[in-house]
Structure 1
Amino acid sequence: MTTHPAATALPIQLRLPGQAAAPVGSIDPFMMYVLHHAFRRDLADFAAAVPRTKLDDAGTWRALADRWTMFAVALHHHHNGEDVELWPLLEERCDETEKLVLEAMDAEHDQIDPLLEECNAGFTTMAAHPDEQTRSALTATLVRAQSILGDHLAHEETDAIAIVQRRMTLHDWEEFEAKMSKQSGLGEMLKMSPMMVKGLSGADREVVFARIPGILKLLIKLGGPRFRRLDGRAFYYLDR
């Protein structure tokens, strides 16, 4: 008996610049990969912008602090959703080797959180009373955060998503994504959606926009002008 190809076809997994892996399986976690791309891009931009921004440009430091808050809220929401919803579900189904990977995911989140708090304090100080010592410390922390978060995202893409593909059903994944969307709220999504797709161009943008739902496309369009104003102000010195 011949099986119809459509019955066994697996989704083509998204691969974006900087992404470490895209394990094959029936689940299509493309929005996770889009978010990972955004997190990598943002941290690289912050690490580059802080040493280039003029010390006496108060408006740009305030914009950088606001833009940092947007990034940090999105990353916290992403990690909290994994800690509360995703890893516990997988732990119920995993073998001992897989559980070690999930324990590492938790431990890596715990490494990242203090760095984000340190960066937040640095941006807050720079927005109020900028000085060279704070700028130097903030730059060093951002570079360290970029390395540690990069390693974590690569580990997640390589090993944790492979566990997702083995242990979750498509229905499980859809429920997880629905919970994540509900926790964000419409107002927050309006602010965050344009950030998710910044920097995607050409074929990558076409592939992503072909997969995202219509409501998200609308939020990206509606929130785009406000986001681009803040983003352009914050990263003013990157192109100079």
Structure 2
Amino acid sequence: MTATKAPGAMTREMRMVHTALRREFGLMPKLITGVAEGDTARAALVAGHLELVSTILHHHHHAEDLEIWPHLLDRCPADVAPLVHGMERHHERIAFLGVDLTEAVAAWRSEPDPVHRDAVLAVLDPLITVLYEHLGAEEDYVLPLIEQHITAAEWNTMAAQAAAALPAEKLPLVLGIMMYEGDPGAVQDTLGNLPAEARDTLAELAPRLYADLAETLHGTRTPPKESAHAR
């Protein structure tokens, strides 16, 4: 991993993750409502993707809780503390809704009928709302603080922790999810953190895996981008 980062590099990397999360969660209600009653195979496919994206979000936030918020509270002026604590409260709210979503999705996956579908959507809607609010506030107010007060080593530790918590076999797909709309500089920085012997292979494999998944989920290898359905 790089010992230093160019100005704005951490901002680009964070925005790449955020854009992917907004896109995947934003597309989810249409996927869920498109599952026909009783179609357990399709419900399992959609539920599995929702579970993966939720897992990405959970570990991304957990890594921030460990490696970002404590450093900002230590190093920033006291008047920044309410902002940081607001970010932490968003994380708590999202985690709380995530537990309810996991339960609702499990029931719908087993019995994909309108009642269970609507139960999933009833949790997903407020989760998406608070998630979009959180990501927007983080980009507007927290990223400048991160660029100023977080070191490259601390940032890389956070990213490594989030990646290490994901199933190893899913990492190429997760990389493809991130790369789809990623800033070219952020994509190159992310690829640069990979082992040299795997870099070229993953640069080709990751986008293909995401395109394959998108075709199965959405019927197209180029699903709508985040800006097309931002709330």
Shorter-chain TM range is: 0.7 to 0.9
1: CA distance, partners of 2:166 / 2:116 = 32
Q: 2:73 matched to 1:91?
A: yes
| CA offset digits 1:104-158 (Å, max 9, x no partner) | 1111101111222222222222221112111112123222111110000011111
Which residue of the other structure, out of 195, 198, 202, is the alignment partner of 1:219? 202
Q: 1:224 to 1:165 in 2, by over 3 A?
A: closer
Name the residue aligned to 1:159: 141
Q: Show the 5 A alignment for 1:85-124.
A: 85-124=67-106
**Shift in Å, 1:206:** 4.2
Q: Show the 5 A alignment for 1:162-201.
A: 162-184=144-166, 186-198=168-180, 200=181
Could you tell me which runs of 5 or more consecutive residues in structure 2 were left unpaired when the two chains were aligned: 1-5, 225-231
**Shift in Å, 1:179:** 4.5
Aligned identity (percent) is: 21
Q: Show the 5 A alignment for 1:22-41.
A: 28-41=10-23
Q: How many residues align?
A: 212
Q: Show the 5 A alignment for 1:221-236.
A: 221-236=204-219
Q: 1:179 to 1:59 in 2, by over 3 A?
A: closer
2: CA distance, partners of 1:221 / 1:193 = 11
Which residue of the other structure, out of 40, 46, 70, is the alignment partner of 1:58? 40
Asked if structure 1 preserves the Cα contact closer than 8 Å seen for 2:56 and 2:166, the reply is: no
2: CA distance, partners of 1:140 / 1:219 = 37
Could you tell me which runs of 5 or more consecutive residues in structure 1 were left unpaired when the two chains were aligned: 1-9, 14-26
Name the residue aligned to 1:18: none
**Shift in Å, 1:69:** 1.4
Asked if structure 1 preserves the Cα contact closer than 8 Å seen for 2:25 and 2:128, the reply is: yes
1: CA distance, partners of 2:133 / 2:36 = 31
Identify which range, 60-69 or 167-176, moves more after superposition.
167-176
Structure label with greater radius of gyration: 1
2: CA distance, partners of 1:185 / 1:29 = 26
- Letter paired with 1:91: L
TM-score for both structures, normalised by structure 2: 0.78
| CA offset digits 1:8-41 (Å, max 9, x no partner) | xx74x4xxxxxxxxxxxxx533221111001100
- Letter paired with 1:83: D
Asked if structure 2 preserves the Cα contact closer than 8 Å seen for 1:189 and 1:219, the reply is: no
1: CA distance, partners of 2:219 / 2:100 = 23
Asked if structure 1 preserves the Cα contact closer than 8 Å seen for 2:173 and 2:210, the reply is: yes
Q: What is the root-mean-square deviation in Å for CA atoms of aligned residues? A: 2.8
1: CA distance, partners of 2:179 / 2:62 = 21
Which residue of the other structure, out of 94, 116, 125, is the alignment partner of 1:134? 116
2: CA distance, partners of 1:70 / 1:228 = 16
Name the residue aligned to 1:47: 29
